[in-house]
Amino acid sequence: MELSQWADMASWTAISTPKHAEATMQRIAIIGSAGTGKYTLTRRLRELTGLSVIHLDALYWCPGWVATPDADWETLVEGIASQEKWITDGNYGRTMEPRLERADTVVFLEFPRVVCLWRVFKRWLRFRGRSKPDMAPGCPENLYWEFVRWIWNYPTRSRPRVMERIKGHSADTEIIVFRSQKEIVRFLARLADKGDGSTGSP
């Protein structure tokens, strides 16, 4: 599938019926801007599949918002990707390739930037002064201009690079793009109705 086709997709159903929605998802990479609902989706997929969830933010950031050194981070993510079953939640372009190489399913969340900003603002109001559930302890929720600008620019700056990377793995990876909450709800309902063969056990 060409990148231009992805750019024009109106919903996940336009991609085709996701084969892993009816078969077995073992390694799921969830990617998207802040405020697209990655945490909520990973939590629901964990309930439906039994797969363990790895929130990359919680691993990358140390207390006090101290970043993990690059070399250590790359080693850590490569180790995660080498496991047989997982759901990862997060972007981190430097270490995206190992996850894309191993994932059997990539979910890209593409919501309007205004929706993302509104959700992030509500999240800040809810968790300000403390860490949100998918963040490392000692990293209280904050909202600053550079982060807001990153969210606003994500569709034009980050998205093209991410989609180009995903394109390179389209031959053997199921690609699902969601552009609204309704699409996600529909997909999860279908997954729940049909049942999924994956489990979190060895």
The answer to whether residue 35 scores a pLDDT higher than 50 is yes
| Amino acid 5: pLDDT | 33
CB 120 within 8 A of CB 86: no
The answer to whether residue 1 scores a pLDDT higher than 90 is no
The CA–CA distances, whole Å, from 143 to 124, 127, 148 equal 7, 11, 7
CA 78 and chain centroid, separation: 17
- Of 14-28, 54-68, 79-93, the one with minimum mean pLDDT is 14-28
The answer to whether residue 124 scores a pLDDT higher than 70 is yes
Which of 10 and 128 is assigned the larger pLDDT?
128
CATH number 3.90.1300.10 is the correct assignment for the domain at 3-193? no
Question: pTM for this one?
Answer: 0.85
| Amino acid 195: pLDDT | 67
CA 16 and chain centroid, separation: 20
Span 125-164, pLDDT tens digits = 999 999 999 999 999 999 999 999 999 999 999 999 999 9
| Amino acid 193: pLDDT | 87
The answer to whether residue 12 scores a pLDDT higher than 80 is no
Please state the domain extents for the chain: 3-193
- In percent, how much of the chain has pLDDT > 90? 80
- Show the tokens assigned to 200: 């979190």
